[in-house]
Structure 1
Amino acid sequence: MTIILIAVLFILQLLSFYFLIILNTKLAKFKDLEKKQERLMREMDDTISVYLAEMKDENDRLIQELQRVSKSETQTNAAKHEEQIERQKEQEQSPSLTKKESTVDSSTSLDNEPRFFVPKNIVANAYSRQQQTEAKTEAKVVHSAQQPTNTTKKEEAKPLTIEQQAVELAKQGKTAEEIAKQLQKGKTEIELLLKFQH
């Protein structure tokens, strides 16, 4: 009986040693994982700090470039301003200019002034809207000429939808790209609209 008890205790002790070894190996794995994570975090910190240092250098270079450009612009603006002042003084000193010379001088001073350009898509949209309003007014005139003058109902012209505009422009012989530019939509969207309309 005591031998059996000793054997059971021995087996239990072996099992406990086995479980202790397993737990120790798992703890070692966790410690390795922690070390790897710490190393990865250090590497990430290093890369982020290098990236931030590069960004700071690039920003400093950009600021220096902008300052250099703004200084050169102010110098050129100052030179232009001085030239204009000198021209005005010359014009005041020599009042015996002929009309032709004065018109030439005024045209050259106009060339030195800055010009403002409007983007093409805005101009195209304004032009298409103007054409549509002209077409609507012509249609109203024709419609009112065909109807008797004593009618009490007035039809309000509804704005054309994008689909209707696309179909109308396609009937005028414009390509899908031209229609897309004019309506400020995607080319594939216009192509699909036109396919579904046919």
Structure 2
Amino acid sequence: MTTILIAVLFVLQLLSFYFIIILNTKLAKFKDLEKKQERLMREMDDSISLYLAEMKDENNRLIQALQVVPKPQKTATVPQKRAASQNNQGQPLAHKESQTKDAGRDHEPRILMPKNIVANAYSRQQVGATSVQVTSPEPPPVQKEEPQPLTLEQQIVQMAKQGKTAEEIAKKLQKGKTEIELLLKFHS
């Protein structure tokens, strides 16, 4: 009787070791999965931050390019002279430093746009505005505006609002699914 009891205890002990080994392997798999998820999250954060840094650099280059306007030829037209003499209320300014530098060279001053106008125009373009209004002393001639074609971003957002999935949008626009998903995340 004691031998049967010892045999049963031995079998139970073997079963408990087997279950401990199984639980240990499952725990190890779970820890590996957790490490992979953390690594993927870090990579995604790095890629998004890199993307945003590139966008910031590109925006800064755009603003700098808009601030530097090529020098006009020696003979300036009447609208250029008028624009150079206007005040800072939303109108182009004459850059005074360039006047002093170029005074001996007989050049016209460079015309620069104020940063707030450039920033407003850029933000309107990002929102999807189709036209930028600049006040001028003379009303512009009335023209029929043709509807501008939608940008890629606008098309994607519009299709998403229509209920299409990222895969359908990617196929229709011949773009990558990940690119579409990332753009939709930025617009949501």
Q: Shared fold (TM-score greater than 0.5)?
A: no
TM range (shorter): 0.3 to 0.5
TM-score under structure 2 length normalisation: 0.41
TM-score under structure 1 length normalisation: 0.39
